[in-house]
Chains A and B, each alone.
Chain A
Amino acid sequence: MLFDRLDRYIARNVLGAIIVVQCVLLGLDITIAYIGDLRDVQGDYTALDVLLYLGMRTPWRFYQYAPVAVLIGALIGLGSMASSNELTVMRAAGRSLARIVWGVMKPVLLVVVVVLLVAEYVSPRSEQFAEVWRVEQRQGENAQPISRSGWQFEGDSVYRFGAIRADHVVLDVTRYRFDERRLVEATHAARAHWEGDAWRLENVTTTRIFDDHTEAAFTDEEVWPTAITPEQLERLLRPIESQSPSELWAYAQYLREQGLQADQPLLYFWQKVLMPLTMASLVLIAASFVFGPLRTVAAGTRVFYGVVTGLSFKYVQDLLAPASTLFGFSPVWAVLVPTLVCAAVGIHFLRRNG
């Protein structure tokens, strides 16, 4: 039977612990981030807006803390069963060590699949929406230089873009047009809409500078003659790590076609796609700590050691992957090799302790 009563019991315990740990981590991190972000409260961008902004970014924080929460949750679930000697009962009832560990893996993989769905569909949109919402909130009084603006050269003009919305609407577009090194025209448009094949600018203010005088003009709408496509702006304005795996893959292919180096998007892509495997290997290592003769050490201590080892392996993986691409490893191996090593070490410990 794939999923019998004992498996269900283990799954309930582990899932409960994972949810609790995720809430603890999210609650703490959001509080710390809130205190940190209070600094950019200004004018009508109030503390409530900061809270709203952080609320919108919760899916992305959820994604970031999920692996750690799964690792600690699985361990605490196992640990609590071990401390009430239920594990010994199970093994006495003839359930092999591997079946128990597999019982723990099922909820872990379930949670990881949920996390992957969030990474594909929810967090990229929520990150983009949050960023755009913040630009719109603070655009009222541009007293605060926008921190994450994107710049682009095209012909004799330099463009600066505030942010891009999911429906391809770009906010806060500034253009400086030069003739050689002399600035001829400075233009600002609140929004730019993509109309299928061309851009339309909305509430455009312009200042033209001549040798002996300047002219200012304001138009409601204006056509924007440019070769820049929405996809280019998407890549320019959206941080790479929070993009969904499919977007990362498309971006990597696009870079390959251009003959450019596509290591960075590929690395993030493989890190996201191979997450079930990496998580399983981490839980394997950590779980090996919980099993083993309970007489000598209290369960709580084992959980602690398991968590610390699991975390250090996770951070080694996170630091090793970008570093290895520097040495020319292809991103796939940069993520896969540490995972396989972890799994091997885990299995070895399990067999020894089991």
Chain B
Amino acid sequence: MSKPIRKRVWITGLVVALGALLVWIDPRGPESVPIDPEAQADEPGHVLENAEVTLFGENGRISQSLATPRLIHTPQQNHTWVESPDALLYDSEQRQWLASADVGTLDTARQALTLTGNAHLIAPDEGWQLDSEELHYDGINAHAWSDVPVLLQQPPQTMNAERMDVWLDDSRVELSGRVRGHHPAETNRP
């Protein structure tokens, strides 16, 4: 009785082993390059060159448009980085405010734009301009602010402050923190 029993065990073992072996020795793919996870983690998901982003608001009107030679979006950190962005910010009357800087980051879901590195904000047809190292803009309620030293140029006068807030819809500017103005004499007004 023992000979056939051993045979039966041998057969079952053979079948399972054959199955596993057959399955394992399948043609191995091309020698897989060792992947280093850090490079993969911050590898950008989407890189766009000479791109133009247009965001339409809830009311269907354009709320922001931004041209940039290079845009990098990394989905893992949900982070969009743009290089020397030239942005057009539309207020409630569809007037176009110009904003530019060396570098910026954009969150399309919350329509939030952050510009850093000699950022400028130019008001439409009122002839004043704000310069700062950092400028934040919230597209949903058209409010721009900066909490680093800022320079307001309204030729011929200029003003400095620690902090500034701008509401585009009623083009109201609020400067706060050691505001210093410089008003050249009346005479040399152009």
Contact = CB atoms under 8 A, between A and B. Distances in A.
Interface of A: 209, 212-216, 296-298, 301, 304-305, 308
A213 to B, nearest CB: 5
B11 A297 contact: no
B15 interface: yes
Contact of A213 (B4, B8, B56): B56
Given A308-B11, A308-B15, A301 B60 contact: no
A304 B56 contact: no
23 contacts: A209-B56, A212-B61, A212-B62, A213-B56, A213-B60, A213-B61, A213-B62, A214-B56, A214-B60, A215-B60, A216-B60, A296-B4, A297-B4, A298-B4, A301-B4, A301-B7, A301-B8, A304-B8, A304-B11, A304-B12, A305-B11, A308-B11, A308-B15
Contacts of B62: 212-213
Nearest to A298: B4
Contacts of B56: 209, 213-214
Given A213-B62, A216-B60, A296-B4, 15 more contacts: A209-B56, A212-B62, A213-B56, A213-B60, A213-B61, A214-B56, A214-B60, A215-B60, A297-B4, A301-B4, A301-B8, A304-B11, A305-B11, A308-B11, A308-B15
Interface string B58-89: 00111000000000000000000000000000
Contacts of A305: 11
Contacts of A213: 56, 60-62
A212 B96 CA distance: 12
A90 B150 CA distance: 106
A23 to B, nearest CB: 23
Contacts of B4: 296-298, 301
A329 to B, nearest CB: 23
A215 B58 CA distance: 10
Nearest to B8: A301
Contacts of A308: 11, 15
Contacts of B7: 301
Nearest to B65: A212
B21 to A, nearest CB: 14
B48 to A, nearest CB: 15
A354 to B, nearest CB: 21
A184 B81 CA distance: 28
